[in-house]
Amino acid sequence: DTGVSQNPRHKITKRGQNVTFRCDPISEHNRLYWYRQTLGQGPEFLTYFQNEAQLEKSRLLSDRFSAERPKGSFSTLEIQRTEQGDSAMYLCAIGQGGLNYGYTFGSGTRLTVV
């Protein structure tokens, strides 16, 4: 138990379909981050929330991607019209503001687009 629950753990979808992932922190944290990790690479930042507000988006987050955190607790990441290049592990992390605090990552959702 990492303190962050991500569902589903695995998702296989056909190209062109929409998918949605969910991140549920077990405890309250004001910051929530989404990362993407492709095979053999380190995680790459996608976006983050301060409470309900989405404050920064990476250039990796195309207009097919949308993320929400409606009540400042759980978050969803939706990918519309999936492409094979979207195949990756999608990781959620929670933390507090400031440099002197680490993040806690979930186990991720592995997406395979066929």
Partner 1 sequence: DAKTTQPPSMDCAEGRAANLPCNHSTISGNEYVYWYRQIHSQGPQYIIHGLKNNETNEMASLIITEDRKSSTLILPHATLRDTAVYYCIVRSNNAGNMLTFGGGTRLMVKP
Query: What is the rounded distance in angstroms from the CA atom of residue 43 to the CA atom of residue 88?
Result: 10
66 is an interface residue for partner 1 by CB under 8 A: no
Q: What angle is formed at CA 113 by the lines to CA 110 and CA 114, rounded to 5 degrees?
A: 135
2 is an interface residue for partner 1 by CB under 8 A: yes
Identify which range of 13-21, 62-70, 75-83, 104-112 contacts partner 1 by CB under 8 A: 104-112
Identify which range of 11-19, 42-50, 62-70, 73-81 contacts partner 1 by CB under 8 A: 42-50
Query: What is the rounded distance in angstroms from the CA atom of residue 83 to the CA atom of residue 14?
Result: 8
Distances (CA, A) of 41 to 38, 78, 89, 94: 6, 22, 11, 21
Instruction: Determine how β-strand 10-13 pairs with β-strand 109-113.
Output: parallel
41 is an interface residue for partner 1 by CB under 8 A: yes
Among the listed residues 13, 20, 80, 103, the single contact to partner 1 using CB under 8 A: 103
Binding site for partner 1 (CB under 8 A): 2, 4, 31, 33, 41-45, 48, 55-56, 91, 93, 95, 97-100, 102-108, 110
